[in-house]
Structure 1
Amino acid sequence: MSALFLTTSLAAMLILRQRIVVMLGFAAAFCYLAWGDGKLSYVVLDVWAAADQEVLLSIPLFILAGNIMSRGSIARRLIKIMQEATNPIPGGLAIATILSCAFFAAISGSSTVTLIAVGSVMYPALLDAGYSKKFALGALCAAGTLGIIVPPSIPLILYGVMTETSIADLFKAGVGPAILLTGLMVIYAVIINRNQPRAAFNLSSFLGALKEGIFALFMPVLILGGIYAGWFTATESAAVAVTYAILVEFLIHKDMSLSDLKGTTLETATMMGSLFPLLMMALSINTFMSYEQLPHDLVHWMSGLISDPVTFLLVTLVLLLIVGTFMDIGSAILIIAPLLLPLALAQNIDPVHFGIIMITNLELGYLTPPLGLNLIVAMTAFNEDFWLIAKSVIPFLLIMLLGLLIITFVPALSLMFV
């Protein structure tokens, strides 16, 4: 009876368009009242224990670093380097767009920040160069999602927190899949735009762009190299990213003012004000489920239905594709990751590899209606029709599905650096 009441209440909240944090808070409180010791104070204790994790500091710091760089000139300088390097290649500007997204994503860790920062420069440039509107929109929306899988990735951090998986290992595991997805997009861009006019490679222009953007280009090397070399943790790398971004934009590029920094900080704080309560409530439910051994019971039940890893992975892929269509990636990770990981472990699937599978899969939700966040951001940023943008990403969705299958069934791609 209690389960029916909880399910009905959550369904009603969903229909009434209540915020996810309200639904999770209600679910956490009800679980303790109905099936726990009946003490709501446990929810408060769970929230305190969840908040008392050093790794959570990396989330606002990485987002702040990304916002500083998108407001400054780091994105523009990276784009210039990519343009000069790819001029003589067929579809060079398209390749520059995809590579710029990949490099900027490796700095910001955010899909929407990458899309806006790179798209604001490259969308008009692609149209002026004669590329089709559909290709330009599709390329920017799809390549913008690389921010989810390219470390430092906020969803990877959330997965690590919710499943107690090493975030440093997740960052290392994201490199191979990110290179694969970027490579597949580049190959498609070359094939589709092979007849586009090309420009001769100009060494002096390339060296000039490299000189102007060398500090921007060095940033992902500093952040990721430091993590891989063991010089600092994921949280410390986030602090390094913020410090480096401020120093470069204020002292070297001199493209930001104190008022810009203040606005960027307030914008980041507002974003965290909506994310952190959601995270705290989800962790409270996770604690309750662990205490009641629900994951163990779920594994026992599912083991009778799914007996091999291939079947489990195929079912998981379909499930996550459906979930990603209707739920934002943060909420999906917070709610589903603690339930699916024990099932994956029961099938002897590495937790780091499974995290990459999950994030890559949910990444597709950024490109699928009705929730498709990148579609909505692109509609606003480029002032284009939503359904035109949705149609433009279809070829890239198919490419990413191919990449997802390779990532899922070739675990060495994710684990070779771990």
Structure 2
Amino acid sequence: MTAALLIVGLLGLLLLRINLVLILMAAAVYAHLVWGDGQIAYFVEDVWASMDRELLLAVPLFVLVGQIMGQGEIARRLIGIIVELTRPFPGGLAMATVLSCAAFSSISGSSIVTMLAVGTVLYPALLENGYSRRFAIGALCAGGTLGIVIPPSMPMILYGIVTESSITDLFVAGIGPGLLLTGLFTLYAVLANRSKPRGRFSARALGRALRQGGWAVLLPVILLGGIYSGYFSPTEAAAVAILYAVLVESFIYRELGPRDYVETCVDAGKLLGALFPLIAVAVSINLLLTVNRVPEQLVALALAHVHDSTVFILAVNALLLVMGCFMDTSSAIVIAAPLLQPLAQSYGFSTTQLGIIMVLNLEIGILTPPLGMNLIVAMSAFGERFGFICRAVLPWIVMMLLSLLAVTFLPWIALGLLH
């Protein structure tokens, strides 16, 4: 009866569009009163314990390095090199858009930051060179989503925290799906724009771009090389990336000053102010569910009614796709991951594979109405109607669904590099 009352109350609050953090906090307090011996103090202790983790330091550090890149010159100079390399290919600027999103994603780990940083440079260039507005917006919205698949990825870090799984393993497992999706996007960009005239390759222009952007290229090399070589932990790599970005922007490119860094820190703080309370309250609820053996009960219930692992994983994909339409990525992960993890393991799916499947599903949610974040941000960034943007991303969503099915039923795409 109490569980039913809790579920009804949560659904009512969601329908009233109450802030999700407040909903989860109310649920946590109610659950502690009913199942936690009536001690609200336990809720406070759980919240404190959930935030007292070294891994959480990686989240603000990666957010901050993405903000610095987007505001300074590093992003623009990195994009300049990619544009010169792709110039002689059919649809070269379209290729450059996708590859620039992939390159920027490998540093920022953020979908919206990637879309805005690359879009600021390449959206006007695409229109000036005869590319359709629909293709340009679709490419930037979809290319931005690569930020949560290509490691280092903020959702992967969050998944690793709430499920207590290896973030490094998640990063390695994200390489294959990230390359697959980038390859599909690039192929589509070329085929859709094959009639566009090719540019002329210029060794002098490439050399100039490399001289201007050489310091920018070193940033992803240092960041990813440090993580995959095992020399840095993800948190240490993010800290090194911030130090490098500040030195380059301040003393080499001389683009950012003290006032710019204050603004950058404020912007990063706004993003984190919405994320950290969500993590704290969600982890408190997860601890309480674990103590009361709720995951074990869900496993027993699922095994009694669903006997085929294929049916299970298809149902999980369907659930996550629906959640992605109505919830942001962080909220969906902190709510669903702790409950789905034991279920997936009971059907033979590893925690790492589930994490990649979850990230791919929620990546699609960023592009699906009514609450797809890239769609909403693109409305103001590019000045287009919501319906137009939804139509622009349709072919890209189809490619993302194909990638999701491939990773679901061909697990070696994600897990091959781990063995």
**TM (normalized to structure 1)?**
0.98
**1:354 Cα offset (Å):** 1.1
Opposite residue 180 of structure 1, the aligned amino acid is L
Tell me if the contact between 2:36 and 2:42 (Cα under 8 Å) persists in the aligned partners. no
Decide which moves more: 372-381 or 6-15.
6-15
Q: Which digits, 9 at most, give the CA deviation of each residue in 1:227-274, with x for residues without a partner?
A: 111101111111111111111111111111110001101111222122
| Residues in 1 aligned to 2:244 and 2:408: alpha-carbon distance in whole angstroms | 35
5+ long unaligned stretches in structure 1 = none
Tell me if the contact between 2:177 and 2:413 (Cα under 8 Å) persists in the aligned partners. yes
Aligned-partner SS, 1:217:
helix
Aligned-partner SS, 1:200:
coil
Which residue number in structure 2 is paired with residue 53 of structure 1? 53
**1:62 Cα offset (Å):** 0.5
Which residue number in structure 2 is paired with residue 140 of structure 1? 140
Which residue number in structure 1 is paired with residue 338 of structure 2? 338
Aligned-partner SS, 1:416:
helix
Runs (4+) of structure 1 exceeding 4 A deviation are: none
**1:211 Cα offset (Å):** 1.7
| Residues in 2 aligned to 1:100 and 1:57: alpha-carbon distance in whole angstroms | 27
Which residue number in structure 2 is paired with residue 229 of structure 1? 229
Q: Which digits, 9 at most, give the CA deviation of each residue in 1:191-216, with x for residues without a partner?
A: 11000011111111112111211221
Aligned-partner SS, 2:417:
coil
| Residues in 1 aligned to 2:244 and 2:376: alpha-carbon distance in whole angstroms | 31
**1:35 Cα offset (Å):** 2.0
Tell me if the contact between 2:185 and 2:399 (Cα under 8 Å) persists in the aligned partners. yes
Which residue number in structure 2 is paired with residue 171 of structure 1? 171
| Residues in 2 aligned to 1:4 and 1:350: alpha-carbon distance in whole angstroms | 31
| Residues in 1 aligned to 2:194 and 2:267: alpha-carbon distance in whole angstroms | 41
1:241-280 equivalence runs, <5 A:
241-280=241-280
Which residue number in structure 1 is paired with residue 71 of structure 2? 71
Which residue number in structure 1 is paired with residue 162 of structure 2? 162
1:391-402 equivalence runs, <5 A:
391-402=391-402
Opposite residue 407 of structure 1, the aligned amino acid is V
**1:15 Cα offset (Å):** 2.1
What RMSD in Å do the two structures reach over aligned CA positions?
0.9
Opposite residue 279 of structure 1, the aligned amino acid is I
| Residues in 2 aligned to 1:133 and 1:59: alpha-carbon distance in whole angstroms | 34
1:10-409 equivalence runs, <5 A:
10-409=10-409
**1:12 Cα offset (Å):** 2.1
Opposite residue 96 of structure 1, the aligned amino acid is A
**1:19 Cα offset (Å):** 0.6
Q: Which digits, 9 at most, give the CA deviation of each residue in 1:310-341, with x for residues without a partner?
A: 22111111111111011111000000000111
| Residues in 2 aligned to 1:150 and 1:283: alpha-carbon distance in whole angstroms | 25
Aligned-partner SS, 2:280:
helix
**1:309 Cα offset (Å):** 2.2
| Residues in 1 aligned to 2:294 and 2:233: alpha-carbon distance in whole angstroms | 32
Aligned-partner SS, 2:305:
coil
5+ long unaligned stretches in structure 2 = none
Give the aligned length: 418
**1:4 Cα offset (Å):** 2.6
**1:417 Cα offset (Å):** 2.2
| Residues in 2 aligned to 1:409 and 1:247: alpha-carbon distance in whole angstroms | 45
